[in-house]
Amino acid sequence: MHDHITIQIAWLPHGKGLDNPSYQTLHSAGMDLQAAVVEPVVIAPQQRVLIPCGFVMAIPDGHEAQIRPRSGLALKNGITLPNSPGTIDADYRGELKIIMINLGSEPFTVTRGMRIAQMVIAPVTRAAWQPVDSPEHLSSTARGTGGFGSTGH
């Protein structure tokens, strides 16, 4: 069984008639987001565009929306999101817009209602800092300062 939270949504005039963000299968983690473009938008290779989703929402406090690419668009067309995952904070009330980039070799056309990204709703943990006198006073681990492939994997 899945936990559910309620997210308020309001459609803007150019988004009317599109579907609410939705899960495509019972176990999907992300909801598909649709393009609320009025006319088709062509993304040339290496070009970035901002595509509107046509709605505003109120994410409950203690949560965020993570915006992620769709794997099919990435594999088949080289379409991805340059700031992935993007974060939509709980206090943002503006229109959801998706930054898309074409890393493919052919122009790509975004049409109205096309599923262009996915949105994952996730809990947020806030952190508090506890200063220590020096790096030696941090709690120790077997890994220590090893990074950038130091584990051999």
Residue 138 Cα to chain centre, angstroms: 33
Q: Contact 99/86 with Cβ under 8 angstroms?
A: yes
Q: Contact 120/30 with Cβ under 8 angstroms?
A: yes
Q: Contact 37/100 with Cβ under 8 angstroms?
A: no
Q: What is the pLDDT of residue 145?
A: 79
Structure tokens at 82: 């340059």
Q: What is the pLDDT of residue 69?
A: 97
Q: What is the pLDDT of residue 150?
A: 72
pTM: 0.87
Q: Map out the domains of the chain as residue ranges.
A: 8-126
The one-digit pLDDT tens for each residue of the chain (153 residues) are 567 899 999 999 999 999 999 999 999 999 999 999 999 999 999 999 999 999 999 999 999 999 999 999 999 999 999 999 999 999 999 999 999 999 999 999 999 999 999 999 999 999 999 999 998 899 888 888 778 877 776
Q: Contact 84/117 with Cβ under 8 angstroms?
A: no
Q: What is the pLDDT of residue 2?
A: 67
Structure tokens at 129: 């800092």
Q: What is the pLDDT of residue 153?
A: 62
Query: CATH for 8-126?
Result: 2.70.40.10
Return the number of other C-beta atoms located less than 10 Å from residue 21's C-beta: 22
- With CA atoms as reference, report the closest residue to 118 among 75, 92, 93, 81: 81
